Amino acid sequence: MSIVVRTLSEQVFEIVRERIVAGLIRPESPIRQDALAAELGVSKIPLREALARLAHDGLIQGHANRGYSVLPLSPHEANEIYALRLAIEPSAAAAGARVADAAARVLATAALAALEDAQASTASEIAVRHRQFHLALVRPADRPLTTDLVERLAMLAERYVIAHLAPAGRYARAHREHRDMLDAWTMGDADTVERAMIRHLASTRSDLQVELGDQRSR
């Protein structure tokens, strides 16, 4: 059994990141470092390290002499993230389908089951399990750089995933799309997997452009 030891700054990073993804820290709201450090029971050093990492990940932005604030959701960022995912992820998932063994199929099936079970969980938990399912389709191809890119883009997409799933009926639609992808993937039908992933990501991008455009105009 492996033991994963996380530094204090990593723990703070995860806590603050979950709050941002879940919308508990509102976009453009200032992050009050004194209050947050006191709440978490940490010094400012690990908090500053965590905030610097969150800024690098594109979730918050720094302001000269004014600390950090959460970046708002942006139709332009959403479009860029999903354009990159469309360029990389469909073919990566198809490559995974071609070589997945029995163990990989078990892991992917379990990842989807965990995502489906998370429907009543927190937004951040849903986002994490959504990312884990998508990665499970890519990892068997043993392309480390591609997998890292897919994971990075999936992490950047998490706030948008939560926003996309908010309207009624979206979770059920996503469930059907994920199930169709997994069925084709476990059968090794790479062409169907690629087409299904393209439809899935493209429809999400299209929905987000409408939602975020409307949101921006209000």
Model confidence pLDDT, tens digit, residues 60-83 = 888 876 788 998 999 999 999 999
Catalogue the E-assigned strands of the chain. 30-31, 60-63, 67-70
The pLDDT value given to residue 174 = 92
**Confidence label for 30 from pLDDT (cuts 50, 70 and 90):** confident
pLDDT tens, 101-152? 999 999 999 999 999 998 777 888 888 899 999 999 999 999 999 999 999 9
Does a structural domain hold residue 15? yes
Shared domain check, 66 and 97: no
Instruction: Residue 58: give its domain's CATH number.
Output: 1.10.10.10
3-state secondary structure of 69: strand
Answer yes or no: do 123 and 194 share one domain.
yes
Same-domain pairing of 105 and 200? yes
Within this chain, do residues 80 and 65 fall inside the same structural domain, yes or no? no
pLDDT interval class at 214 (50, 70, 90): low
Q: Lowest-pLDDT range, 68-72, 164-168, 200-204?
A: 164-168
Judge whether 53 and 104 are in contact, CB under 8 Å.
no
Instruction: Kindly list the distances between the CA atom of residue 10 and the CA atoms of 7, 46, 195, in Å, as whole numbers in the listed order.
Output: 5, 8, 37
3 is a domain residue: no
Range of the domain at 136: 75-217
Picking from 70, 89, 124, the residue at the C-terminal end of a domain is 70
What is the pLDDT at residue 2? 40
Question: Model-level pTM?
Answer: 0.84
| Judgement on whether residues 64 and 20 belong to the same structural domain of the protein | yes
Count Cα neighbours of 166 within 13 Å in the Cβ-side half-sphere.
Answer: 16
Residues 173-198 have pLDDT tens digits of 999 999 999 999 999 999 999 999 99
pLDDT at 166: 84
